[in-house]
Amino acid sequence: MSIPGFLNRFFSKEQNLSSKDVAKERLRLVLIHDRSASLPDSVMLALREDLISVISKYMEIDQAALEVGLTKSDDEVTLIANIPILQIKRAV
């Protein structure tokens, strides 16, 4: 996928996802969460709140649907964030 194609998909208001695709993505996130590295809930909550604070400066997001998790493989831990964007804020 080209960079402009990725950005278009990322910032697109319409994402014609079938219910099958939505369910598949949610299952993937549940599996990631189950395999995540262990961090205290307080740290994950603080991380979530910080992400909301920073991203909300630039975009209107669906805070209730935001999902944050960590996944661990051999030598690395990866942060996975599913952040539904409702609208891009215009520069002032």
Q: What is the pLDDT of residues 51-60, one digit of tens each?
A: 889 999 999 9
| Local confidence band at 34 (pLDDT 50, 70, 90 cut-offs) | low
Give residue 64's Cα distance to chain centre: 12
* In the predicted structure, residue 9 carries a pLDDT above the cut 70: no
* In the predicted structure, residue 68 carries a pLDDT above the cut 90: no
- Percentage, residues of the chain above pLDDT 70: 70
Output the six-digit token pair for 8: 């278009």
The pLDDT score that the predictor gives to residue 80 is: 86
Do residues 74 and 52 make contact, with C-beta atoms less than 8 angstroms apart? no
Count of Cβ atoms closer than 10 Å to residue 68 Cβ: 20
Threshold 0.85, pTM exceeds: no
Domain layout of the chain by residue ranges = 36-92
